[in-house]
């Protein structure tokens, strides 16, 4: 009887505390966990998620958590990074598989989202004026400012490397990304990449994206 009462009292206390108390502490624990998990990412993506061309690893700092989570899940399930020609994706996929515990993906994604976006220098030859015309097709989902739109499931395109953007658009065009039958979001993007007529058009649209403010 007494044990029951004590248990009830503890339960009541916990319930009361959960209204006001523990939420920030849980959030802080998650942030710590995200930071700890991120240590496995820095060897390729850099200390601040700023990316590293030699590792083929793009800037990921400041990408929204919903998008990072989805990509990590895609790598984990093999929707992304399993195609025979996906050399960069095949480097990333085993890393996603180290996020094994429940909540790992969400914690590291929140940490990535909290990092200030990078501002990489352009490296490719492209014509931003022609790119601006081509970018008209992209506005509906990625926004005129390239900031992305969660409602359309479209990530931001600013704050990334031009070589990475070029590779992804080419991957979509060639069916290296977005062609898996389970890839509902890639299926939205793939036909859009195919509207770009040739390699130079891809470079031009990327050159324009690089002129957009971070």
- Residue 46 touching ligand HEC (CB under 6 A): no
Tell me, residue by residue from 5 to 34, as one string, x for binding to ligand HEC by CB under 6 A and - for no binding: ------------------------------
Q: How far apart are the first and last CA of the chain?
A: 63
Q: How far is the CB of 6 from ligand HEC (least distance, A)?
A: 43
- Residue 153 touching ligand HEC (CB under 6 A): yes
- Residue 65 touching ligand HEC (CB under 6 A): no
Contacts of 18 (CB under 8 A, 6+ apart): none
By CB under 6 A, the residues from 78 to 107 that bind ligand HEC are 88-89, 91-92, 95, 99
Residue among 214, 211, 213, 212 nearest 126 (CA): 211
Residue among 22, 44, 30 nearest 111 (CA): 30
Is the sign of the CA dihedral 150, 151, 153, 158 positive or negative? Answer: negative
Q: How far is the CB of 164 from ligand HEC (least distance, A)?
A: 6
Quick check: 59 and 51 in contact, CB under 8 A? Answer: yes
Identity of the residue, 12 or 136, whose beta carbon is nearer to ligand HEC in the bound complex: 136
Is the sign of the CA dihedral 113, 119, 124, 128 positive or negative? Answer: positive
CA distance 106 to 113: 10
Contacts of 17 (CB under 8 A, 6+ apart): none
Tell me, residue by residue from 116 to 135, as one string, x for binding to ligand HEC by CB under 6 A and - for no binding: --------------------
Taking CB under 6 A as the binding criterion, the range among 18-26, 28-36, 116-124, 151-159 that sits at the site for ligand HEC is 151-159
Q: Which of 167, 173, 204, 212 binds ligand HEC (CB under 6 A)?
A: 167
Calculate Rg over the CA atoms of the chain: 21
Q: How far is the CB of 167 from ligand HEC (least distance, A)?
A: 5
CA distance 91 to 185: 22
Site of interaction with ligand HEC (CB under 6 A): 37, 40-41, 43-45, 55-58, 60, 63, 68, 70-72, 88-89, 91-92, 95, 99, 108, 112, 137-138, 140-142, 152-155, 157, 160, 165, 167-169, 185-186, 188-189, 192, 195-196, 205
């Amino acid at each position: 009887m007494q044990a029951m009462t004590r248990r009830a009292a503890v339960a009541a206390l916990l319930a009361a505390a959960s209204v006001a108390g523990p939420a920030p502490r849980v959030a802080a624990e998650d942030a710590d966990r995200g930071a700890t998990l991120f240590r496995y990412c820095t060897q390729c993506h850099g200390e601040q998620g700023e990316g590293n061309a030699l590792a083929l690893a793009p800037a990921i700092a400041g990408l929204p958590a919903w998008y990072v989570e989805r990509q990590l899940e895609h790598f984990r399930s093999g929707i992304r990074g399993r195609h025979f020609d996906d050399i960069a994706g095949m480097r990333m996929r085993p890393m996603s598989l180290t996020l094994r515990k429940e909540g790992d993906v969400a914690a590291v994604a929140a940490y990535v989202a909290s990092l200030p976006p990078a501002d990489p220098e352009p490296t490719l030859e492209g014509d931003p004026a022609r790119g601006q015309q081509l970018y008209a097709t992209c506005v509906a989902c990625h926004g005129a400012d390239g900031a992305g739109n969660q409602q359309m499931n479209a990530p931001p395109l600013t704050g990334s490397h031009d070589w990475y953007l070029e590779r992804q658009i080419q991957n979509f065009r060639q069916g290296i990304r977005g062609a898996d039958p389970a890839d509902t979001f890639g299926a939205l993007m793939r036909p859009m990449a195919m509207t770009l007529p040739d390699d130079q058009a891809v470079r031009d649209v990327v050159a324009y994206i690089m002129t957009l403010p971070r």
